[in-house]
Structure 1
């Protein structure tokens, strides 16, 4: 799993639907808006932390610090994967919002 998005795992399994299981669990979600927003905020914070860590490792290497090239590449690749996942999630949220806004009431 991509490290920056671990907070979204909090919304999986029976907890996602308030402990309900079975075919009707998805039809009656009881996750509050604050739970969703806190999960998204935590995912964003982890993404920012991963990006900051990659920047820090890169700057240390550029300044001549004791950092291996492999560590820099690993940090930058992790940051890139995390950022792309965050962008994909953002795009899905925007698409879902647009779909809901187009629904007839």
Structure 2
């Protein structure tokens, strides 16, 4: 179920009476602080590390399934599924790497 917006802590509770500017600025500061804490999560390097580990595990799984297929311990469908999944992970990792390199080159070309 989707949490209501009020549950995020982004909005100060509404009151019927008029408040002074100091109260409003405190409420805005509280909302900004809550938004900053709500954004905190895994960093970019953690996400890249997880993606790389998943890709490596997928390729290892494809190799393991291939060896099991050669030994007769796995059927053809299992081997093909594992190899196709490994191939897809490798293509995704390669495309992602190419985008990162391209973005890095674009940044280095910017004038300061």
Which bin holds the TM-score, normalised by the shorter protein?
Answer: 0.5 to 0.7
Q: Does 1:54 align with 2:33?
A: no
Unpaired stretches in structure 1, ≥5 consecutive residues? 1-18, 21-29
Change (3 A) 1:100 1:31: farther
Deviations 1:2-23 (A, max 9, x none): xxxxxxxxxxxxxxxxx58xxx
Could you report, residue by residue, the CA deviation over 1:37-77 in whole angstroms, capped at 9, with x for unpaired residues? 11001000000000001100110111222x11011001101
Q: In structure 2, what is the equivalent of residue 4 of structure 1?
A: none
**Count of matched residue positions in the alignment of Structure 1 and Structure 2:** 77
Task: Give 1:100's match in structure 2, choosing from 91, 94, 107.
Answer: 107
Q: 2:92 aligns with which of 63, 72, 85?
A: 85
Moved >3 Å (runs of 4+): none
Determine the structure 2 residue equivalent to 1:11.
none
Structure 2 spans left out of the alignment, 5+ residues: 1-34
Q: TM-score, normalised by structure 1?
A: 0.66
